[in-house]
Amino acid sequence: MLLKRLGLGLLLGMGLAVGAWAQGSTMFDGQYTGELVLVREMKGDCTQPPFGAVYPLTISGGVVRFAYVPRFATTLSGRIAPDGVFKAAARARKGFVQMTGRVQGNLVTAEIVSPSCIYTFQTRN
């Protein structure tokens, strides 16, 4: 009987934890628009984003998506943690592209690293 209660308690606790994670992951849902800045070229074949161009970053159900179009026609995707930290990645022709960042309110800051370039992303106010 004691083991049965313990098992039931563990299942209930796990259910609450999963529910809290799911709720936390959707609290950032929305579309964020920001600017890219080319910070560093490692191989000299990077594309400078056009002046004033903005790029959408979408979060839905805890999944981050970012269309990385300055150099590669690739969509980065990944997960966002309950604290707003996220990682999104995709395979490109010449290797992997990874975006790491954080959402704090309406502010999103991130860094995008590819085999040839490093960009920063930041939402506009």
List the structure tokens of 35.
Answer: 């600017």
Instruction: State the sign of the Cα–Cα–Cα–Cα dihedral 40, 84, 92, 115.
Output: positive
Q: Which helix (H) or strand (E) holds 26?
A: helix 2-26
pLDDT the model gives residue 93:
78
Q: What is the pLDDT along the chain (125 residues), one digit of tens a residue?
A: 544 443 444 333 444 344 444 444 578 999 999 999 999 998 767 888 888 889 999 999 999 999 877 666 789 999 999 999 999 999 887 789 999 999 999 899 999 998 888 999 999 76
What φ, ψ does residue 37 adopt, rounded to 5°?
Answer: -125, 125
Return the domain boundaries, the chain. Answer: 2-123
CATH code for 2-123?
Answer: 2.40.128
On whether the pTM is more than 0.85, the answer is no
